[in-house]
């Protein structure tokens, strides 16, 4: 249907220029971000690309043609189709994605392109079967939703689609799938605007990943379970919210794999049974250099009192934290000067150190906390641990997440080369990652180090709230997987509930039989009737009676 003209400059991307003839159906099919393929040596291989821009060309768009068009419109007539066929064409720019090749009856995709198609090589849209292959319909993994190019939804004949007025439903049915095992030891970002379902996508992926506990192979062929830690800044991952949208605790096959750390009051005894403890730490057990480096801003790191705090030994650090926790800014300066080894006349340094420590202790410390011990125990057993930081203000959430990530990272680093290593494969999920990741100091340094070096120690990272254009070049260089549901190529979510709701407040209640990770004794609290996410057909039938599958 068209020809190849040549490659063009596109910054860090490969782009190509094409020429397409006029076709009347172009106004009734999706064109922007549509897939195209350019033939290479033979018909069994071609360059795959997506349309990024289209401009009209030909004699009908030049001076005389424009005047003729204006005159036709003024006379309330239409430009004849035969004139459009003869004197109108389109110049199309595509972003090159890679090469498609048919090998043994299978379609193989290579995400690289170094060959040059001849000028005049044929260009074509994808066939329905090839579109399914390219969009991931034939992959093994979690279903993400229906493929959508703007208002064009590829779901005709699928009863799961709730058709709305703005939609134009097309064939074939294309349901992209995500190979969820790729989340392990990978660094994945989700780019999208607010309200496009990034967090919902993340919950769906992890619900699918933990149908069976994921494992990685270690020395000696050992299969070690992979844990996940989710820092939840909005309190939307673990319990149902005010709009009755379900959380991970509502997925039955996850109910022995969810551990929640929160200071919130649970809506019922069932949801309270998932809580292992609060979110504060016993910072006496952490190295003072780690706490001070993460908790204080980079501008303060070179101050004299901060250097003294970083250099404290464990005994003096524990005594200082206890004193600050008891008396705060009223702590005796003489005690602080003794513990920091300050000389006479250094009252200013002591006052600054007391102020900094008071802020840190009030923000983070709880002498009875066993959060880190329970967190590591749960991660070792392959649990999903949700740390609720929604009630923290300002940079407190970043400081807490930085300390936890640093603790796990150092543990794995120390165990990495031991004779009998006890590393903990972990996936870290960080919402609003563009405000956290950065190669600078302070609380953002630990997620950055995890992103840059974590894959070596089987530590993956997901940034489900990264906004387009907010990441820097250093961050982009460390990312393996991108998921970009931008306008024009988003996914229409399937109408799947994670649970079915009983008709009455006591309908369907059953005893809770297991506690996640054995972090608390078994309970017999009632819980609402739930269904597996995988049993979505039954869930749909309960909402839409009469639907046949």
Average pLDDT over residues 412-439: 77
How large is the average pLDDT for residues 329-350?
91
| CA 307/CA 292 separation, integer angstroms | 9
Cβ atoms of 510 and 526 closer than 8 Å? yes
Sequence-separated (6 or more) residues with CB below 8 Å from residue 469? none
Which helix (H) or strand (E) segment holds residue 18: the answer is: strand 15-21
pLDDT category, 221, cuts 50, 70, 90? confident
Q: Is the pLDDT of residue 517 over 60?
A: no
**What does the pLDDT read at residue 435?**
55
Rg (C-alpha) for the chain, rounded Å, is: 29
Given a cut of 80, is residue 274 above it in pLDDT? Answer: yes
The pTM is what? 0.69
Q: Is the pLDDT of residue 207 over 70?
A: yes
* Paired tokens of 19: 């020429």
Among 165, 204, 164, residue whose Cα is nearest residue 183: 204
For 179-281+369-492, give the CATH class.
alpha beta
Cα 58 → chain centroid: 45
Largest Cα–Cα separation, the chain: 96
């Amino acid at each position: 249907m068209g020809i190849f003209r040549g490659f063009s400059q596109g910054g860090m991307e490969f782009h190509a220029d094409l020429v397409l003839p006029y076709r009347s159906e172009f106004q009734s099919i999706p064109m922007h971000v549509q897939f195209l393929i350019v033939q290479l040596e033979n018909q069994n291989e071609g360059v795959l690309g997506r349309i990024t821009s289209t401009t009209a060309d030909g004699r009908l768009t030049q001076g005389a043609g424009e005047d003729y068009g204006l005159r036709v419109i003024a006379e309330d007539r239409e430009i004849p189709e035969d004139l459009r066929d003869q004197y109108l064409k389109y110049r199309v720019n595509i972003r090159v994605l890679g090469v498609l090749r048919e090998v043994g009856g299978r379609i193989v995709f290579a995400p690289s392109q170094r060959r040059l198609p001849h000028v005049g090589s044929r260009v074509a849209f994808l066939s329905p079967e090839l579109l399914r292959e390219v969009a991931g319909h034939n992959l093994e993994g979690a279903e993400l939703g229906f493929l959508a190019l703007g208002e064009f939804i590829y779901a005709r004949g699928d009863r799961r689609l709730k058709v709305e007025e703005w939609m134009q439903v097309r064939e074939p049915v294309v349901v992209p799938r995500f190979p969820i095992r790729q989340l392990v030891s990978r660094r994945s970002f989700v780019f999208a605007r607010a309200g496009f379902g990034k967090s919902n996508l993340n919950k769906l992926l992890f619900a699918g990943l933990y149908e069976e506990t994921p494992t990685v192979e270690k020395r000696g062929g050992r299969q070690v379970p992979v844990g996940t830690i989710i820092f939840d800044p909005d309190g939307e991952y673990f319990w149902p919210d005010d709009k009755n949208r379900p959380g991970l605790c509502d997925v039955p096959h996850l109910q022995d794999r969810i551990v929640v750390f929160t200071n919130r009051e649970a809506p019922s005894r069932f949801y309270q049974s998932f809580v292992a403890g609060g979110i504060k730490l016993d910072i006496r057990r952490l190295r003072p250099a780690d706490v001070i480096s993460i908790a204080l801003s980079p501008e303060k790191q070179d101050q004299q009192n901060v250097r003294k705090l970083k250099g404290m030994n464990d005994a003096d650090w524990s005594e200082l934290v206890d004193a600050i926790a008891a008396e705060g800014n009223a702590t005796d300066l003489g005690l602080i000067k003794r513990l920091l080894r300050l000389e006479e006349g250094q009252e200013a340094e002591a006052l600054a150190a007391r102020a900094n420590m008071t802020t840190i202790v009030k923000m983070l410390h709880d002498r009875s906390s066993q959060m880190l011990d329970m967190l590591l125990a749960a991660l070792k057993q392959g649990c999903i641990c949700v740390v609720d930081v929604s009630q923290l203000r300002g940079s407190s959430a970043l400081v807490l997440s930085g300390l936890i990530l640093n603790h796990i990272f150092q543990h794995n680093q120390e165990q990495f080369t031991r004779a009998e290593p006890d590393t903990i494969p972990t996936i870290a999920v960080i919402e609003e990652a563009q405000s956290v990741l950065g190669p600078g100091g302070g609380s953002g340094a630990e997620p950055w180090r995890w992103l840059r070096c974590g894959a070596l120690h089987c530590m993956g990272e997901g940034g489900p709230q990264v906004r387009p254009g907010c990441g820097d070049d250093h961050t982009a260089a460390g990312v393996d997987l991108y998921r970009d549901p931008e306008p024009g190529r988003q996914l229409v979510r399937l109408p799947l509930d994670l649970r079915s709701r009983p008709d009455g407040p006591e309908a369907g209640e059953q005893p809770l039989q297991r506690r996640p990770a054995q972090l608390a004794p078994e309970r017999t609290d009632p819980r609402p009737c739930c269904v597996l996410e995988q049993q979505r057909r039954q869930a749909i039938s309960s909402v839409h009676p009469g639907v046949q599958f």
